[in-house]
Amino acid sequence: MNQDQERIHDAYAPVHIPPLVPGRCAEALMDSDGYARCHRADHGGKGEHHTGGRAWTGRQAAGAVRVRFGVPCGSDCIYPD
């Protein structure tokens, strides 16, 4: 089977998509259900992004994405899903 490892890696990396709500963070993380958007207000990429029990820093384009699992919503999550 010929699988492109870079494409497989990119399928699970955070992406930047336009926000649906003005003022909401535009970062999203791709998961098995599609995209999961960051719960925080626009924070200019400072600090961690958060969605569905996961927090992450970095961007796909930078190649330095770090994902943490089991992270509950905090006071910064003003747009929970």
Q: Is the torsion defined by CA of 51, 30, 65, 38 positive or negative? A: negative
Length of the chain: 81
> Structurally, how many domains does the chain consist of?
1
Give 62 or 67, the one with higher predicted confidence.
67
Give 38 or 62, the one with higher predicted confidence.
38
Sheet architecture: strand order including 27-31: 14-16, 27-31, 34-37
**At 4, is the pLDDT very low, low, confident or very high (cuts 50, 70, 90)?**
very low
Assess if residue 56 is contained within a domain: yes
Q: Stretch 2-19: mean pLDDT, rounded?
A: 54
Assess if residue 38 is contained within a domain: yes
Assess if residue 62 is contained within a domain: yes
DSSP string for residues in 12-60: TSEEE---SSTTB--EEEEETTEEEE-SBBP-TT-S-EEETTEEEES-T
Tell me the residue type at 66: R
Q: What is the pLDDT of residue 34?
A: 75
Assess if residue 74 is contained within a domain: no
CB 36, CB 21: distance < 8 Å: no
